[in-house]
Structure 1
Amino acid sequence: MDPELIFTADAEAHGTDRRALASNCRSGQLIRLRHGVYMQADEWQGLSPWEQQRVRIRAAVEQGHGQRVLIQQSAAVMWGLPVIGNSAEVLLLAVPPIHGQRRGGLHWVERQLLEPLTALEDVPLTSRAQTVLDMAAYLPFEHAVPAMDHVLRPDPVHGLPPLGKERLRETATNLPSQVKRLRARQVIDFADARSESAGESYSRAVIHRHRFLPPELQQQFNTSAGRFRVDFYWREQRLVGEFDGAVKYGRGDAALAPSWDTLRQEKRREDAIRATGVSFVRWSWDDVSRQPQHPESLVQRLVRAGLPRARRR
């Protein structure tokens, strides 16, 4: 359940006034989410980064007097879909002639409705299918793939069923131009439900963009220490690729840092897989996000590992 929001317009209902809210914010008791909207600081600090983003978006929607309909990345956050990068703006559906208007961290964008609008916890937004198709049509390929991979799998956290590729392809035919339809179709065709995290999906899209040979996903290895599964495997090169997510190794949050026993088990797992005669290449969020020319980028790591690229057509 999302935490309670405190609006300055309703300050008296909370037994306070605008000055008291501002004072409590300066003292650290409250967090200001946007102009005129606050919440308790201890509740805010207990939220994960993606939950904080969700609360900020909800604050923007609930503060408005008229209906505000979330689209694209903002709708994706509410649906629990992975979004690459953090946008300071909340994206809202525009009704002509206000297309392109920006105000107070809000951006109204005109979009052609592919399916009827829906609501999630009383927040109006585009459907899951439209949300991922708009992302595919208007965002860079690498940024659209993680969300598309996600909707192909059941979502037990939100109790949502998977979406089928045929339904997505059919819905994409209603996009407003041939270019947008082609972009969406490319993402749908490339999407793979076997990618188990946003980092794996994003990595796979970068690998594809830079024309490296496509990997096998979730390959099983029988070793002397047990049976293990790896993120990526290039069979001909005998090369294993592993994405090390931030949460897995606790980066950016000491509370998520793994125990020594967890790290030791991971080292034991890698040594057992290496003993089957394969080599390893590992990368993190930082590596996959770096420019291709950076010596520690995913691209350069794969080059050093000897992974060939496909010829240009």
Structure 2
Amino acid sequence: MIDDEPLPLLVRVPSLGSDSREATRLRRAASAGRWRRLHPGSYVRADEWDALTPRRRHVLMVESALGRTGARHAVSHLSAAALLRTPVLGDWPDRVHVTDPDALGPQSTVALVKHQGPLEDDEVSSLRGVRLTTPARTAADLALGTRSLEEVTVVLDDLLHRELTTKEAVLASLDRRPRARGQAGARRALAFADGRSDSAGESRTRVLLHRLGAPVPVLQRRFELGRGRWDPHVDFWFPDQGCVLEFDGVSKYTQSRWRGSLTPEQVVVKEKLREDAIRRQADVRAFVRCTAWHLGDPRRLRSLLESAGVPCSR
């Protein structure tokens, strides 16, 4: 098992047995939509595949491709991010990414994208028996790529927040490849990253605040709610404007991971009481919430901020 939860069973047929009765049965079942072919000779039940999250689908693809990787290959880039349970923006790749220190150049097959580059022993770790790049090397690889600041920040913030790596470790990985393309952008993204952001939504909001030219907010500010009670934190605090900004993700209300034993209705009531208590603070003059809808268009977030007295210079 290479994920934190059991994955569907992969059924494999040897390449030498591609004309066997079992191989023929699986090909026909895949054509009929009952099974899904991940790689040549590797199949999973279609209903079990459909039930997986996008990240766990890619993890299953990594498991399917392991027989095609060499002894010195390490799962890397977005594929390593999937194994590390790191959120990413956009789609997961349809092929598994590995780094091959012996490759003469980038190579691609039906199952793999092979990245060329040096790979030191201390840049490789093991997760449930799978060789993959360390969190620091994974972060550096993705930061060096052509991904946007928003995409890189989501990855970096998450790895820093969960204390899987540090800025110093990522910087050391970048320093090992001084001539790699994308160094300037990677270092800017690393300087901007902040492990106090504890969700992809907060990271995206932080990037958009930066692009809008909003004042730099205080992250995870706590307020005393009276009788010795402290609010765990608010996402963003603009002290000069007395404004609290919270990113409101749907998962807070729908996923048991976040709401615990509370019903969605109870979470709504709890959030309302918490907001009322924060609004009563003497230095709080505004409390606003943004959602993924606001992040989809900078004009929406700008309008929300300006209505709360937070200026935007861009």
TM-score tier after normalising by the smaller chain length? 0.7 to 0.9
CA distance in 2, matches of 1:210, 1:41: 44
Match of 2:208 among 206, 223, 226: 206
CA distance in 1, matches of 2:225, 2:280: 8
CA distance in 1, matches of 2:81, 2:306: 34
Q: How does 1:102-113 map to 2 (within 5 A)?
A: 102-104=108-110, 106-113=112-119
1:109-129 deviation per Cα after TM superposition (whole angstroms, max 9, x unaligned)? 334436543332333322211
Q: Which residue of 2 aligns with 1:261?
A: 266
2:168 aligned counterpart, secondary structure: helix
Q: Which residue of 1 aligns with 2:61?
A: 56
- TM-score normalised by the chain length of structure 2: 0.77
Q: Which residue of 2 aligns with 1:152?
A: 160
Shift of 1:140: 1.7
Confirm whether residue 167 of structure 1 aligns to residue 180 of structure 2: no
8 Å Cα contact 1:33/1:39 also seen in 2? yes
CA distance in 2, matches of 1:184, 1:45: 35
Q: 1:26 to 1:282 in 2, by over 3 A?
A: farther
8 Å Cα contact 1:9/1:36 also seen in 2? yes
1:107 aligned counterpart, secondary structure: strand
1:172-217 deviation per Cα after TM superposition (whole angstroms, max 9, x unaligned)? 2122437633323222222222111222122212222332211111
The one-letter amino acid of 2:183's match is R
Structure 1: segments with no counterpart, 5+ residues: 156-160
Q: How does 1:156-305 map to 2 (within 5 A)?
A: 162-177=164-179, 180-223=182-225, 226-228=229-231, 229-250=233-254, 259-276=264-281, 277-288=284-295, 290-292=296-298, 295-296=299-300, 298-305=301-308
1:54 aligned counterpart, secondary structure: helix
Percent identity of the aligned residues? 30
CA distance in 1, matches of 2:180, 2:99: 22
CA distance in 2, matches of 1:64, 1:179: 28
Shift of 1:17: 0.9
Q: 1:300 to 1:16 in 2, by over 3 A?
A: farther
Q: 1:98 to 1:184 in 2, by over 3 A?
A: closer
8 Å Cα contact 1:88/1:105 also seen in 2? no
CA distance in 2, matches of 1:148, 1:223: 32
2:75 aligned counterpart, secondary structure: coil
CA distance in 2, matches of 1:184, 1:6: 40
Match of 1:126 among 129, 133, 152: 133
The one-letter amino acid of 2:287's match is F
1:118-149 deviation per Cα after TM superposition (whole angstroms, max 9, x unaligned)? 33233332221111011122222221122222
CA distance in 1, matches of 2:112, 2:60: 15
8 Å Cα contact 1:112/1:176 also seen in 2? no
The one-letter amino acid of 1:120's match is L
8 Å Cα contact 2:254/2:264 also seen in 1? no
1:282-303 deviation per Cα after TM superposition (whole angstroms, max 9, x unaligned)? 2223432x243xx54x344334
Shift of 1:105: 6.2
1:34-86 deviation per Cα after TM superposition (whole angstroms, max 9, x unaligned)? 55422245654554443233222332x22526455322112111122222221
Confirm whether residue 308 of structure 1 aligns to residue 314 of structure 2: no
CA distance in 2, matches of 1:93, 1:25: 31
Q: How does 1:34-73 map to 2 (within 5 A)?
A: 34-41=39-46, 43-44=48-49, 47-59=52-64, 61-64=65-68, 66=70, 68-73=73-78
Structure 2: segments with no counterpart, 5+ residues: none
2:59 aligned counterpart, secondary structure: helix
CA distance in 1, matches of 2:213, 2:44: 47
Greater shift after overlay, 189-198 or 229-238? 189-198
- TM-score normalised by the chain length of structure 1: 0.77
Shift of 1:30: 3.9
The one-letter amino acid of 1:75's match is A
